[in-house]
Structure 1
Amino acid sequence: MQRRIITVASGTLACASLAVLSSCFSNSNDPAAPTTYTVSGVAASGSPLVGAVVVLTDSKGATVQSASTDASGHYSLTTRGTAPFVLTTSFNDVDGTPALLSAVLVPTSSAATASVTANLNPLTSLVTQRVLGLVPSAAPTATQIATAAVTKASITAAIQSVTTALQPAYTALNVPAASVADPIGSAYQASATDPVDNLFTLARFNVHAGQVAVGTGSARVVVSIPATGATSTPVSTVAAASLAALGAGPTTTAIQNVIVVIGENQTFDAVFGAYQAPASQAVKNLLSQGIINADGTPGPNFALAVQNQGVAQSTYTINPTRGAAYATLPQPELIGVLNSQLQAQGGVPDPRVPATLPDGPFQNTTYAAYALSANNPLGNLTGDPVHRFFQMWQQTGGNNAKLDMFTWVATTTGQGGDTSGVTPANPSQGGELMGFANMSTGDAPYFKSLATQYAISDNYHQSIMGGTGANFFAMATADVAYFNTAGAVATPPANQIENPDPMASTANFYSQDGYSGGSYVNCSDAAQPGVGSILSFLGSAGVKPNCDAGKYYLVNNYGLGYDMNGNAQPIGANNYTLPPQTVPTIAEALAAKGVSWKWYTGGREAADVTADAAAFGVPVAVAQGAQYNTIGDPLVASSKVMGSASLKAGLAGLTTLYSDIAAGTLPAVSFVVPKNLDSGHPGYSVPAKYELFLQGLIAKVQANPTLWAHTAIIITTDEGGGHFDTGAIQPVDFFGDGPRIPMIVVSPLARTNYIDHTYHDHASVLKFIERNWRVAPLSSRSRDNLPNPTSTSADPYLPSNRTAAIGDLMSMFAL
């Protein structure tokens, strides 16, 4: 008996001592330990999803998140959950709608660890939606997964139904059968060389709608692949042949001509602040936020835009200490307004506007009528707000979260003391920047007409904080110009380096800033004046500044290194001229690809201004000087363009533009800059003049039906001109982004009466051109390398990527 007790005790002790290593008391019916799965793959939709988070949901509703996807869209995560697994990640669908990519799998393994592949792309998403019987708007619940009764067989059946509908498209583009037999688990890359990704580029997959558009023109068909029910009949032979022709052609869409028109100095709210969205759509502007009423008077949420005064600063900061609000808005001034002799006025009050306006946005067309008249060909001009780099950073705080510093910064700094007529005693700025046109009462009728017929964006931004020169340069390069000597990085004259630290005994008047002085900044050095505050903000947001060591970047307006004929201009302390640049341009990239292009600038040709000279009674040379936008012709800054006869030949005027349109010889890519007096720039132009210019240009294109059928006219401004705007800003790097500006796509291929919320800036125009003509990004540091944004329905405006992201305009088209 005792021996038996000792035996049992010994066994019990042995079992207890081994319990940490094994389940000593378990029986043969206990389940095996769950397998640890490493799940990895690529998330993409014609381009990689970068900075996205993939969420795995297991059958019990437990979730695991991946780290951010890398530059290739690759992710990886580990789970010990119970299959089946559903993976989801946010993306912007083909129409810009925030949606989810998804994948579903039922791995089986008896091993302790196993690795499985799960790609997430439009094809896997259509499959997953059919497996689940729903279009997920979030990670699915355990109930939704259980209800779907997911099995390997149900996944195979869903793949087969999708394949049946799309097989002719697969065949047309030579997509290997193995790639689509298991799109979730097969090898896949987000690259133009991958046949499946090429399919996503050429066919238009609308995941949340369960539709795929194949082909172009009359051959285009839309195949329905819903989450439940039968799919459409397979892609037709005609549509498949059209898709194959598109794949073999020069463009990835039916768009064969792009005309980019760039006016000047208007924010989105300044023009579209009272625009009313179509039914079932939304717009973010002054009216929709209740800041104004439809009649232009202060609305119930006017306080959102009330302007505060700042407290006197000792060093530059983008987040000034706030003081009290203004009792009334400072009276608008006439800074920059041309008189009848075409001479600009200084900073004096605008007698048309009362000094007792409420402290916030006001309808400026109440005092300066919007419409043009025969006896006032220039229009009812208004003052020109300050629009410079450090001022705009300080006005917006980098993200435009507070909206309250626009006026105080403008009225305390002006255009800087290095600008003639601007002094600490009179910075020559008032409340003119808070003015807006009122579409609800009839202002901007042509812009409104275009918006209702075609597509607009309420989330398109100027690329660079500040003014014209840097933003036109960004439109041509997706980059920033810098000081150099014969192409080598150099330090500019000391008087040309920005110092936004306030002068002694002033509230905020910058020490060295202005059009005849401080305009360069070395943002790689945090000790440089003004730089530290911006770098600190970017660091807290996890944003890389993109500042090369030792470079002094030009962030405000200077003349260009050549004149329009290619003659080098002097560089020196008293020459406010940018040295010739070697920054890669869109002109060089298109030429290298064999894609035709021209940059048409109003006033470049004498014939452009002959009528103007007669109207104003001045010589043609004088009219040309007044009308030609020198810094709006940014390729003149490039030594490679101006040093190449073939590239230089792409620089032309409006006379040539109109001739090319009429003759049907317009190049594939055109940039068009109006004459100064037609640009919409405050002081010497008005938005109504820009409307008139656009109306004439669009009519000329439409008069050539063959050209119009495959043309996209992209309309914007260079920058917001310092006007107030309520849109949130994404910090992309040290240089911007800046406030929202108008963006309209006019084309028979544009969406109709549509408002796009995808985050865009000037690099988006280049990304669109590059994607359509299969052109690589311009350089390793240019913004056209940035990924496309993902967003959520909770916030469709700011990208949810864990990295800076810029759209490519494709969501504004119904291709």
Structure 2
Amino acid sequence: MTLRPLALATLVTCTLFGCSAGHNSATDTVSSTSGVVATDSALVGAVITATDKNGKTLISAATDINGNYTLSTGSLAVPFVLSTPFIDSDGQPAILSSVVNGSGNVRSNITPLTALITQRLLGATLTVAPTASQIDAAHLDSTVIAQAMNDIKATLQPAFTMLNIPVATSNDLIGSAYVADANVDALDNFLTLVRVNVHAGTVSIGTGTDNVLVNLPSTGKLDGPSVLSNASMASLKALNDGQTTTAIQNVIIVIGENHTFDSVYGAYKAPTGQTIANLLSKGIINADGTPGANFALAAQSQAIPQNVYAIDQPRSTPYANLPQPFLTGVYNPQTFQLLGNIPDPRYPANLPNGPYQITKYVPYAAATSATGDPMHRFFQMWQQTGGDNIKQDLFTWVAVNTGVGNDNSNPATSVQNPGQGGELMGFVNVNAGDAPVFNSLAQGYALSDNYHQSIMGGTGANFFSIATGDLPFYNENGVVKTPPSNQIENPNPQTGTNNFYTRDGYSGGSYVNCSDVTQPGVSAILNVLNKNGRKSNCEAGKYYLVNNYEPAYDMNGNLKKPVLASTDYIYPPQTVPTIGEALTAKKVSWKWYTGGRDAADIAQDGPLGAFQYNTIGDPHNASSNFANNATLRSSLKGLSTFYNDVANNTLPAVSFVVPKNLDSGHPGYSVTVKYELFLNDLISRVQANPTLWKKTAVIVITDEGGGSFDSGYIHNQDFFGSGPRIPMLVVSPYAKKGYVDHVYHDHGSLLKFIERNWRLKPLSSRSRDNLPNPIVLATDPYKPVNGAAIGDLMSMFKF
């Protein structure tokens, strides 16, 4: 006898769920329910709600690092429904769900496929946990559950067969022994290679012109297996057999410098159907750059001085006007000498107390467009933002009273002149024609309004984090040691000052032992982390470098100083695992291109050529593994090599591109328009090679916010960050068009994207790329609710 598909599925389901004549016994009890919650990766920190037809609910503990949960459910009427919020494949908040049936101890995984089954059973797309009436009206029993599961399975069976998903698994998509690891679990591999959109009821299979969108709605007719064309199956097989899990075979990560999101996109208007969080949308400014109805939300306050370093100091009074911006960091264009810590006469002395449009006073694209360089250091940024940037009102007070610290010489800073004014509150206005390239790229491709620098503070730590997901630490020949005392941070205010730190600066205090609560400044930050339930990620006895020092090696792999003196502001050789080493081990080609590395990069720059190489933007130079390995060093190149690789179809799979200093957009010695011109040229070169462009994603970021004001929320990950929002774009044929993404990301997300696309593991047990994907509620898509978490950028693509 041959069983029909439904009968076979019912037989299997009855075996698994214990059905009786197609119904559930009134005495059936599921004493315990457990399983895995995952999309394609484990959903960590998820809280499960179990709901039965009588309206009784139970809440689970948060899922563990592997997405496992267990819930005592003996008091619930069977069947019942499990649900939990998650971020869908398109970046939208949605609900994962699963149905539990049977008796005893039951396994019920919660995945996008089980959610499609549940929605089919309930006849509704869930936006919250289902109600008792929804469950009761569905008349759930083993037969209808089997039917819904078989319907989903039958449509997707060609893809299941293509990917060698075991029959036992495909026959029981809810209760199988699923593991959220594509390297060991065939079903998870399927979820990695396709895009299940739960709230839309679709599964996207294949890429490009071979893509098929399978419709599996909560009501109405389902697509049948015939919709899966031979071309879509061949495309799926190519992904399965290939080096990447998506159509992106080349990624180019371009890293400019020192702009927050609001300083560039504060006045950007989201395209129709999109929303954005910026100065304009919050009413802080009007579209013409003038103060808006909610201007007071960004008003800057003065604080009451404290005797020790403090976060969220008590406030005194708001500023009547912003302090006049300074010219700190700006060079004379003729002599290339610093102008010094002096007020900028182009601005009035009575700027309103809040964000202002720079180009009302300084032209956007002119030889004299350079503006002052805001302070951007670790302890200052923690203090400015309070860690979460909820109040966002101490940016100016910390800047003008603290500056870049007391350990500086070029130019020197002092209590009387910390070298900072109101320059950090400036923004450019795309509605006035400013930043036309940034504006055009946002309109044509995908923009994130929730991407953050990973480390509070400046360039050095953030570039190092881009390459490692971690920070350097002081050591001698690999052994953890204590740095010279003059190089250890002490952000406690000097006696009699408002907030001028005791030891801090580019020629001094830059290390912190954050495992020691008695160290200056440490307890204030740890208190914030403890309040929010975060771990510090500080290893015992290690002094981490949180501000800018020179890396140990020069661009040729030569040790700069064999023995470091207290007056050498160079950090010692590191062995922190890097993305370069991970890609090399996986046999994935890569290069890190830094402007000024190749002689041809600066051949036309004359005397300015000496200023063009960004030594702290070439972070693999910190690694002794690179200094001692010519093969690894061969992947460190200049811009001329990059341009040749683009033209000659020799570009590696993974590229990091760092402009020359004067093209980086860094306030003081560069301007935003220079970075725009660099980006426009780079993207045009890639697009001019159709073979390359059709498989490439260009990711545009800055390394950090440069100390400029930003109105966005900051999510604490650990002692080191995240930090303020920064601009981030995905430019690709596969980028969503005119899209604004709200998923919480930081530099660790770059690593997560590379690792997910090229099937790599996290770099180390402590690197930022270990963090799970965020879970958010529909009421606030910006704030993860599952602890430390960052996305993997996939929500910005449409494959």
TM-score of the aligned structures, taking structure 2 as reference length: 0.95
CA deviations 1:764-812 (Å, max 9, x no partner) are 00100011000111001001111011111111001111x2111000110
Question: What code does the residue aligned with 2:339 have?
Answer: Q
Aligned match of 2:18? none
Question: What code does the residue aligned with 1:251 have?
Answer: T
Hey, what's the Cα distance between the residues in 2 that align with 1:683 and 1:367? 16
Hey, what's the Cα distance between the residues in 1 that align with 2:558 and 2:734? 41
Aligned match of 1:477? 468
* Aligned with residue 260 of structure 2, among 255, 263, 267: 267
2:718 counterpart of 1:729 = no
Hey, what's the Cα distance between the residues in 2 that align with 1:129 and 1:368? 56
Hey, what's the Cα distance between the residues in 2 that align with 1:683 and 1:814? 38
Aligned match of 2:56? 62
Question: What code does the residue aligned with 1:227 have?
Answer: S
* Aligned with residue 42 of structure 1, among 10, 16, 36: 36
Question: What code does the residue aligned with 2:154 have?
Answer: T
Q: CA RMSD in A?
A: 1.1
2:91 counterpart of 1:106 = no
**1:273-672 to 2 correspondences below 5 Å:** 273-340=266-333, 341-370=335-364, 372-373=365-366, 376=367, 380-420=369-409, 421-570=412-561, 571-613=564-606, 618=607, 623-672=608-657
Hey, what's the Cα distance between the residues in 2 that align with 1:502 and 1:704? 56
2:789 counterpart of 1:813 = no
CA contact (8 A) 2:594 2:613 kept: yes
Hey, what's the Cα distance between the residues in 2 that align with 1:256 and 1:121? 27
Hey, what's the Cα distance between the residues in 1 that align with 2:645 and 2:94? 42
CA contact (8 A) 1:57 1:63 kept: yes
Question: What code does the residue aligned with 2:555 have?
Answer: M
Question: What code does the residue aligned with 1:814 have?
Answer: K
Q: Give the C-alpha shift of residue 164 in structure 1.
A: 1.9
CA contact (8 A) 1:267 1:725 kept: yes
Question: What code does the residue aligned with 1:810 have?
Answer: M
Question: What code does the residue aligned with 1:642 have?
Answer: A
CA deviations 1:641-690 (Å, max 9, x no partner) are 12110000111100100001000000000000001111010001111111
Question: What code does the residue aligned with 1:162 have?
Answer: I
Q: Give the C-alpha shift of residue 594 in structure 1.
A: 0.2
Q: Give the C-alpha shift of residue 33 in structure 1.
A: 7.2
CA contact (8 A) 1:168 1:237 kept: no
Aligned match of 2:692? 707
Hey, what's the Cα distance between the residues in 1 that align with 2:530 and 2:130? 35
- Between 1:232-241 and 1:118-127, the stretch displaced more is 232-241
Hey, what's the Cα distance between the residues in 2 that align with 1:582 and 1:441? 48
CA contact (8 A) 2:557 2:626 kept: no
SS in 1 for 2:646: helix
Q: Give the C-alpha shift of residue 161 in structure 1.
A: 1.4
Aligned match of 2:89? 94
- Aligned residue pairs total 766
CA contact (8 A) 1:34 1:81 kept: no
**1:223-238 to 2 correspondences below 5 Å:** 223-234=214-225, 235-238=228-231
Question: What code does the residue aligned with 2:669 have?
Answer: Y
CA contact (8 A) 1:564 1:604 kept: yes
* Aligned with residue 132 of structure 1, among 122, 139, 145: 122
2:70 counterpart of 1:71 = no
Aligned match of 2:7? none
CA deviations 1:76-125 (Å, max 9, x no partner) are 11121112201101111111101111101332x4xxxx211111001111
CA contact (8 A) 2:100 2:106 kept: no
Hey, what's the Cα distance between the residues in 2 that align with 1:806 and 1:54? 20
CA contact (8 A) 2:554 2:560 kept: yes
CA contact (8 A) 2:699 2:731 kept: yes
- Between 1:273-282 and 1:472-481, the stretch displaced more is 273-282
Aligned match of 2:108? 118
- Between 1:236-245 and 1:114-123, the stretch displaced more is 236-245
CA contact (8 A) 1:105 1:152 kept: no
2:747 counterpart of 1:762 = yes
Hey, what's the Cα distance between the residues in 2 that align with 1:203 and 1:344? 54
SS in 2 for 1:611: coil
**Once the two structures are aligned, what percentage of the paired residues are identical?**
61
Hey, what's the Cα distance between the residues in 2 that align with 1:331 and 1:716? 29
Q: Give the C-alpha shift of residue 36 in structure 1.
A: 5.5
2:779 counterpart of 1:794 = yes
CA contact (8 A) 1:262 1:674 kept: yes
* Aligned with residue 173 of structure 1, among 163, 166, 173: 163
Q: Give the C-alpha shift of residue 233 in structure 1.
A: 3.2
CA contact (8 A) 1:61 1:140 kept: no
Hey, what's the Cα distance between the residues in 2 that align with 1:258 and 1:688? 24
Larger of the two Rg values belongs to structure: 1
CA contact (8 A) 1:168 1:236 kept: no
Hey, what's the Cα distance between the residues in 2 that align with 1:442 and 1:159? 54
Structure 1, unmatched stretches of 5+, are 1-30
SS in 1 for 2:31: strand
CA contact (8 A) 2:83 2:97 kept: yes
Aligned match of 2:77? 82
SS in 2 for 1:212: strand
CA contact (8 A) 1:593 1:775 kept: yes
CA contact (8 A) 2:49 2:82 kept: yes
Q: Give the C-alpha shift of residue 34 in structure 1.
A: 7.2
Question: What code does the residue aligned with 2:416 have?
Answer: A
Aligned match of 1:27? none
Q: Give the C-alpha shift of residue 32 in structure 1.
A: 8.2
CA contact (8 A) 1:770 1:776 kept: yes
Hey, what's the Cα distance between the residues in 1 that align with 2:600 and 2:540? 45
Question: What code does the residue aligned with 2:374 have?
Answer: P
Structure 1 residue runs of 4 or more that deviate by more than 2 Å after TM superposition: 31-36
Question: What code does the residue aligned with 2:316 have?
Answer: G
Question: What code does the residue aligned with 1:182 have?
Answer: D
